[in-house]
Structure formats: structure tokens, C-alpha cells
């Protein structure tokens, strides 16, 4: 009998949490530094009841969606230009590759100097963390389109925007979606770095909540916020990216 797909991961998670709870309750570790799952769940429940967690999550998600949308809107056309124009690829494409390796926290001092303790400083860091990953992914996806597709399209009279919209982008779409997924992950990391340092006038997000837990030695709060970040990331993949990738594979006959 084949078990449903979620059963095994769920059993493993329950086992892990049970062993963790038992190990901490036996006094093998300092509970201030490594809280038990029950203490983390207690903080999670209390934060939900008083509205602190929901408010922080809403602030963070709003920033994330706006910053990711701006980064993706800029990154897709820039990546396409890098792929199709050699001198742009040799300049902007090389620059994008270098900037992608730059940790997102390095943009925070510039953001603070240019924008101050404002919402725009946080958005700037998120955009910078997103755009270069998207540029590189789109560039490589377009470059990977088989020349046969281009020749076939041009033979049938396709050119200009029609060639882009009917041939190049559909062929490169799986790679572009993977790049957007990677850009989403980079946007999360950038936002957490920004919210930890830009905390005065920008509202109280998950990064600020994480930083406050560290300052107060509330490791249950720190780990609880980390769990929320992981959970939101998984939900985004389950609700949006995974169905889109399955549809792309099935539409190309790669998956039933």
C-alpha cells in the first residue's frame, strides 16, 4: 500500500520535534539558548492572540511583494536584452553576475545613506537582492533556446515582438520561472537583512521581531520567527511556484 506523499514528511517532523522536546526537558541543553518546541509554540500562540505576529507578517509580506514585483519587472527585460545584445551582455551581464554574489546586507549602508530610515530604504535592498538573480536567470534561459526554434520561426515570417512573444519567451519560460523562484528566495533574504537594520520609521516586520528577540534573549521568539519565514516560503512554493512549474512540464509533455 502506497502512503500519501505528505505522510512520511509529517511523521519525520513529529518524530524530530518529539526527540527535541524530550532532549531539552531532560536538561541536556540550556533552555534559554535552545528552547523546547512547546515554548516556541507557546510564543507563537500568544503572538497570534495579541496580534503582534499577524501585524509583523503583514508588514513584511507587503514589502516583499512590492520589492519582488519591482525587481522582477526590471530584471526580465534586462535579462532579455543581455541575452540578445552582445555588448549589453558583456557589460550589464557581467555586472549582474558580480552583484549577485554580493551579500544583501552590503546594500543596507547605502540604502540608509541614500534614503534614510524610510520604507524606500527597505524596498531598495529587496529590489537589489532580487533583480540580479532574475537578470541572470532570464539571460541564461533565453540563450538556451535552441537555434532551430528561432530559424523555424523566422522562416515562417516571425520577427521582432512576434518572435519574442511566440517563440523565444515560451521556449525560455521554464528557466524564467525557476529564476523568478530564485529571485523570490533572494528577496526574502534581502528583506530580513533590511528589516533588522532599518527599524526606526519603517514599521515592525518579521525581521524587526527577530532582532527584538535576539536583543531580549528570547530564543523562542527568534526560532518562532524563523519558523514563520520558512513556512511562508514553503506556502509560496506550494500555492504558486510548484503548480506553475507542474503546468509548464505537463504542457510540454514532460509530466502527466
* Among candidate residues 223, 226, 233, the one with its CA nearest the CA of residue 186: 233
Contact by Cβ (8 Å): 227, 241: no
pLDDT reading at 31 higher than 70: yes
Comparison of pLDDT for 173 and 250, the residue scoring more: 173
Q: For residue 20, give every residue at least 6 positions away whose Cβ sits within 8 Å of its Cβ, in sequence order, or none.
A: 36, 37
Q: For residue 89, give every residue at least 6 positions away whose Cβ sits within 8 Å of its Cβ, in sequence order, or none.
A: 82, 83, 139
Q: Using CA atoms, how far apart are residues 192 and 64, in angstroms rounded to an integer?
A: 10
Local structure of 234: helix, strand or coil: helix
Mean pLDDT of the chain: 83
Domain 56-251 classification at class level:
mainly alpha
Q: For residue 116, give every residue at least 6 positions away whose Cβ sits within 8 Å of its Cβ, in sequence order, or none.
A: 201
Of 2-6, 84-88, 199-203, 244-248, the least confident = 199-203
Q: What is the pLDDT of residue 3?
A: 59
Give CA separation, 191 vs 21, 48, 125, 187, in Å: 31, 22, 7, 6
Give the domain ranges of the chain.
56-251
- pTM, to two decimals: 0.83
Rg (CA), the chain: 22
pLDDT tens, residue by residue, 133-162: 899 988 888 888 777 877 787 777 777 777
* Among candidate residues 91, 92, 166, 101, the one with its CA nearest the CA of residue 135: 92
pLDDT tens, residue by residue, 94-120: 888 888 888 888 888 888 888 887 788
Give CA separation, 67 vs 116, 141, 166, 191, in Å: 17, 23, 29, 9
Amino acid at each position: 500500500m502506497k502512503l500519501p506523499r505528505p505522510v512520511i514528511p509529517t511523521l519525520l517532523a513529529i518524530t524530530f520535534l518529539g526527540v527535541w522536546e524530550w532532549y531539552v526537558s531532560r536538561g541536556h541543553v540550556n533552555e534559554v539558548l535552545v528552547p523546547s518546541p512547546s515554548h516556541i509554540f507557546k510564543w507563537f500562540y500568544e503572538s497570534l492572540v495579541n496580534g503582534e505576529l499577524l501585524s509583523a507578517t503583514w508588514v513584511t509580506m507587503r514589502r516583499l511583494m512590492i520589492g519582488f514585483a519591482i525587481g522582477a519587472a526590471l530584471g526580465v527585460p534586462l535579462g532579455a536584452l543581455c541575452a540578445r545584445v552582445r555588448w549589453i551582455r558583456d557589460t550589464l551581464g557581467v555586472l549582474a553576475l558580480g552583484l549577485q554574489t554580493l551579500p544583501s546586507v552590503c546594500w543596507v549602508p547605502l540604502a540608509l545613506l541614500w534614503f534614510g530610515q524610510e520604507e524606500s530604504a527597505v524596498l531598495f535592498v529587496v529590489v537589489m537582492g532580487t533583480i540580479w538573480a532574475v537578470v541572470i536567470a532570464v539571460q541564461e534561459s533565453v540563450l538556451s533556446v535552441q537555434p532551430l526554434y528561432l530559424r523555424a520561426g523566422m522562416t515562417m515570417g516571425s520577427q521582432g515582438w512576434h518572435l519574442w512573444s511566440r517563440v523565444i519567451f515560451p521556449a525560455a519560460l521554464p528557466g524564467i520561472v525557476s529564476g523568478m523562484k530564485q529571485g523570490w528566495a533572494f528577496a526574502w533574504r534581502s528583506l530580513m537583512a533590511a528589516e533588522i537594520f532599518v527599524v526606526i520609521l519603517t514599521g515592525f516586520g518579521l525581521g524587526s521581531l527577530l532582532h527584538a528577540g535576539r536583543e531580549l534573549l528570547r530564543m523562542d521568539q527568534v526560532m518562532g520567527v524563523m519558523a514563520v519565514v520558512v513556512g511562508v516560503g514553503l506556502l509560496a512554493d506550494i500555492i504558486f511556484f510548484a503548480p506553475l512549474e507542474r503546468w509548464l512540464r505537463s504542457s510540454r509533455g514532460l509530466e502527466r
